[in-house]
Amino acid sequence: MKLKIQKLCLDAITPTYATPGSACFDLFSIDPDTIRIRPNCSATIGTGLAFAIDPGWRVDVYSRSGHGFKNGVRLANCVGKIDSDYRGEVMVRLTNDGTT
């Protein structure tokens, strides 16, 4: 499946594979420098992207292991699932289980 990606704003960053051996591509927030999630709190983060997913497929969103180990930040719903008929902005809800 070839994933069609629409940028909803100029600041949106196209998902990329960090290395040739990456199993998944990385999603980015629209403005990562302004995001602060206090300990034991959650926040919904926009990506500025919409996906056109072929019927019968879905996109799964996972936390990066480094965020959990280094910062205590994880996806609030563990695994996000984007259905093929969803055409809105891809958002992720993050929870800070860390102390800072």
Q: Which domain holds residue 47?
A: 4-96
* DSSP secondary structure string for all residues of 25-43: PBP--S-GGG----TT-EE
80 closest CA partner among 96, 66, 94, 65: 94
What is the radius of gyration, based on Cα positions, of the chain?
14
Total domain count, the chain? 1
CATH number of the CATH domain containing 73: 2.70.40.10
Instruction: Tell me the whole-structure pTM to 2 decimals.
Output: 0.84
pLDDT (tens, 9 = 90+) of the chain, 100 residues, equals 789 999 999 999 999 998 999 888 999 998 877 888 999 999 999 999 999 999 999 999 998 777 777 778 889 988 999 999 999 999 999 999 988 8
